[in-house]
Each structure stands twice: as C-alpha cells, then as structure tokens.
C-alpha cells in the first residue's frame, strides 16, 4: 500500500524504513529541507541508530522510500498516514500544539476517503478525538469514523534501538470508533513483524485497545510509572544517605521478590519522554498529587547532589568541578532535558566553576549547547552525570587532582578510585 509518514525524526524515519522494507511504497514528509535531502540520498540525518543506515540506503535505492517537504501532497496518495511530528512542551509541561496543528491541517488538505490517520506522538488524553478529529474534518470535508479511520498508536521505542523495539514491544492501537481500531490494527499487522515474547500473557503483536483515549492514556501511564518509581528510589537514596545504608544492596534484596520492581536512583531524569509525559498527564489531571510530587522530587536531585559535594569539600566558591556527561543517557548522543543543565546551574549557584566533557560531544558542540566545555584545567571534584560505559574504566590515575568523586549513576569502579572520596547517591555516604 501507499503510506505517508509525517516526521522523519528518530521515531518516524525507522518506522518509514520498516514499512518500506516490508514492500510498501512510503513517502516521508518533513518540514526540514536538510532532513529530506539526507533521506532522499539514503543517508540518516542523525547518527547512533542501530541498523538504520544500511536499511535506509537499501529501501531508497529500491525506490520504496522517498522524501518530500510537501506533506499535503504526500498524504494525498496515501492509504495510511502516520504522524510522528513532535509535541513541544515548555519547562512546566505546557504543550505547544502549533507544529501538530499545522501538520494536521496539511494532512487534511490531502486526505482521501477510506484512508487511515494514525497519531504516534505522545498526547494529553482526549487530544485525537477532541482536537485533531475536528481539524481533519474541517480541512478535508470528510467525517472521522465514517469517511476515514482515525487512531492513536503510541511509539514505544528508545533512541539507539528503535528498529529492535519495533519488533520487541506490542503495538498498541486505539481508535475513535470500533471500525477505526480494526483498520488501524490491520495496518500495523501489515507493516510490522514481532519477536516472540514468552514473558507476555498473550502473544506479542498488535494489541487493540478500547478507544483512542485508552491508547493515549497507556502511553502516558507507562512513562509516568517510571518517573514515579525513580522518584521513590531517589527519596530512598536520601534516607539511605542519612542512615548510612547502601541502597543498591537494599534494591537488589527487594527485587529478588518477583512482585518488587524498584528502579535505581539517579542524578537526573532526562529525555523526551519520562520527564515530559507526567506533565502531559497532569495537564488533564492536575489533582494527581503523587505524579506531581514525583516530578518535583526528581527535579530536585541535581541540587541535592551539589549539596552532597559541598558536604564533602566545603564551600564550592571558586572550586573547579568536572561534570562527566552531557547526554541524558549513557551511550546516546542526545541532550533533551538532560540533567547536565540543572546540574551546571546548581554548581554555578554554589559558586563552583563547572566544566563539562562527554565522549560523544566535542568542545565546540558543548559550547553551542550553552555548556562550559572542559578546558583541561585541574579540577578538585568530578560528578558523573551520564552513565557512559567509558566512565567505568576511569580512575584516580586519570584525574590525579580530584579529591571527591560524586557518582550520580553508580557506574564507577571503587577499586579505581583509591585515595579519592567516592560518593554514590544512596550509597550511605560511601
């Protein structure tokens, strides 16, 4: 079938490639000319996505995937339109619908009868039915649920392993009516393959839900669960530090029971999803006190970590502090809502002189992000912000001037840091 994927980012492009690799004719639409040019040339416009470059080059060379900046034209010939364009939010989680509204209007201009429209971007519950259905109808003259199918099917993938996650995780689909759900489920069965998952209670594959709202809720609930769980671990870490208990051992003991799934504490919760989706949930449910408290608890950890550093070193005024890791997660070249930003801010507020380094970013790239790049000057303390695998091999021989190491991810090897005071969040002062 002819398929249009709107948004050729880290979720949309791998999906487009997967659809094309199944033999379908896919047109990818994006507003960025440089992204379209790269995809049209068979080159990923971003790095770090496993297996994407090879598969993209193959489907472009075979003529199964093409790219354009004209969303309306791409949608006009499509039997299915999948929208993966982003929903930006401000620091308080207030969504800015301008991008998705414009995309929706463009799709409506080319929408044909009997087509399927699927939104994959995380949205506040009720957005597909209450906002986008009306815009699609107004722009096309068609009626959602009668003249075209409309569903929400959340992307459930992680950067760096999107193609693998498309096979690993069940594909959730919920429509504005029963017919839309059925058409959406048929579409995703036609474009995706699934790996066996013996851990699931039912076979891996496309899982229809009762409504678009149920699917929207499922996306936000999954991320919010993680945020709340991490906040609980971070609260436990503070208590463990006060009473001198190693929380890592406690969590290991707790999780030996199948009903316990405690997460690990960490200096920050970053990325496009886990720190953002709870705010999207709160947008419709402002009285969810547990969710709000968890988000606030996680946002407070960078300042708490700086407090631990002050407790070990004394006043930080004029003290050089190296921050290891600009990325929000180890092994991923992305800084979306990374903990590096509030951490640097908290260090500066304490009077310290922070310097940031990251094996995935050069000094000029860090400077472009507004981060003070490592200048090679000796520092008295180090803070591990991202769990890059390279940091497991670091030791005091690599940083002879360092007196205190604050490991915000619990990834460093204590045997390598002899003579240095090593502090781990929730490590009981160790």
pLDDT in tens, the chain (430 residues): 999 999 999 999 999 999 999 999 999 999 999 999 999 999 999 988 999 999 999 999 999 999 999 999 999 989 999 999 999 988 777 899 999 999 999 999 999 999 999 999 999 999 999 999 999 999 999 999 999 999 999 999 998 899 999 999 999 999 999 999 999 999 999 999 999 999 999 999 999 999 999 999 999 999 999 999 999 999 999 999 999 999 999 999 999 999 999 999 999 999 889 999 999 999 999 999 999 999 999 999 999 999 999 999 999 999 999 999 999 999 989 999 999 999 999 999 999 999 999 999 999 999 999 999 988 888 999 999 999 999 999 999 999 999 999 999 999 999 999 999 999 999 876 5
pLDDT of 149 reads 98
pLDDT of 430 reads 59
Compute CA distances 333 → 59, 326, 363, 390, whole Å.
25, 9, 14, 14
- Phi and psi dihedrals of 119, rounded to 5? -95, 135
pLDDT of 410 reads 92
- For 280, residues 6+ apart whose C-beta sits below 8 A from its C-beta are 87, 89, 93, 95, 122, 123, 124, 220
pLDDT of 48 reads 86
Domains in the chain, ordered, with CATH?
Answer: 2-210 (3.40.50.720), 235-430 (3.40.50.720)
DSSP code of residue 175: E
Alpha carbon 128 to its chain's center: 21
β-pair partners for 324: 357, 384
Structure tokens at 29: 């639409």
CA distance 221 to 156: 12
pLDDT of 348 reads 97
DSSP structure string for 100-141: HHHHHHHHHHH--TT-EEEE-S---TTHIIIIIHHHHHHHHS
pLDDT of 429 reads 61
Question: From start to end of 305-380, where are the E strands?
Answer: 320-324, 353-357
CA distance 56 to 208: 29
CA distance 174 to 394: 48
């Amino acid at each position: 079938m002819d398929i249009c994927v709107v948004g050729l980012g880290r979720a949309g492009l791998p999906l487009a490639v997967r659809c094309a690799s199944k033999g379908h004719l896919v047109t990818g639409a994006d507003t960025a000319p440089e992204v379209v040019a790269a995809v049209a040339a068979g080159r990923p416009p971003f790095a770090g996505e496993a297996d994407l470059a090879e598969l993209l080059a193959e489907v472009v060379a075979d003529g199964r995937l093409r790219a354009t900046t004209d969303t309306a034209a791409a949608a006009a010939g499509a039997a299915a339109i999948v929208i993966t364009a982003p929903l930006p939010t401000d620091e308080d989680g207030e969504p800015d619908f301008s991008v998705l509204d414009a995309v929706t209007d463009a799709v409506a201009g080319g929408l044909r009868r009997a087509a399927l429209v699927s939104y994959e971007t995380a949205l506040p519950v009720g957005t597909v039915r209450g906002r986008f259905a009306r815009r699609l109808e107004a722009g096309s003259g068609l009626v959602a649920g009668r003249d075209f199918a409309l569903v929400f099917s959340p992307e459930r993938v992680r950067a760096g392993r999107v193609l693998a996650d498309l096979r690993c995780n069940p594909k959730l689909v919920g429509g504005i009516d029963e017919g839309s759900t059925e058409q959406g489920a048929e579409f995703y069965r036609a474009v995706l393959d699934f790996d066996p998952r013996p851990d699931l209670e039912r076979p891996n594959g496309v899982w229809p839900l009762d409504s678009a709202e149920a699917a929207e809720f499922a996306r936000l609930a999954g991320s919010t669960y993680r945020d709340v769980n991490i906040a609980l671990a971070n609260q436990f870490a503070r208590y463990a530090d006060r009473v001198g208990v190693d929380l890592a051992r406690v969590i290991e003991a707790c999780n030996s029971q199948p009903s316990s799934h405690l997460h690990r504490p960490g200096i920050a919760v970053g990325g496009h999803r886990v720190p953002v989706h709870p705010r999207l949930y709160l947008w419709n449910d402002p009285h969810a006190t547990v969710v709000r408290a968890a988000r606030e608890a996680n946002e407070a950890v960078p300042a708490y970590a700086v407090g631990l550093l002050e407790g070990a070193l004394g006043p930080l005024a004029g003290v050089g502090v190296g921050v290891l890791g600009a990325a929000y997660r180890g092994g991923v070249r992305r800084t979306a809502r990374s903990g590096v930003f509030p951490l640097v801010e908290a260090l500066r507020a304490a009077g310290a002189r922070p310097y940031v380094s990251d094996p995935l970013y050069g000094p000029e790239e860090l400077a472009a992000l507004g981060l003070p790049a490592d200048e090679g000057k000796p520092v008295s303390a180090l803070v591990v912000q991202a769990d890059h695998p390279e940091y497991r091999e670091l030791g005091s021989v690599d940083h002879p001037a360092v007196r205190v190491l604050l490991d915000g991810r619990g990834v460093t090897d204590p045997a390598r840091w002899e003579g240095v005071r090593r502090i781990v969040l929730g490590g009981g002062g160790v």
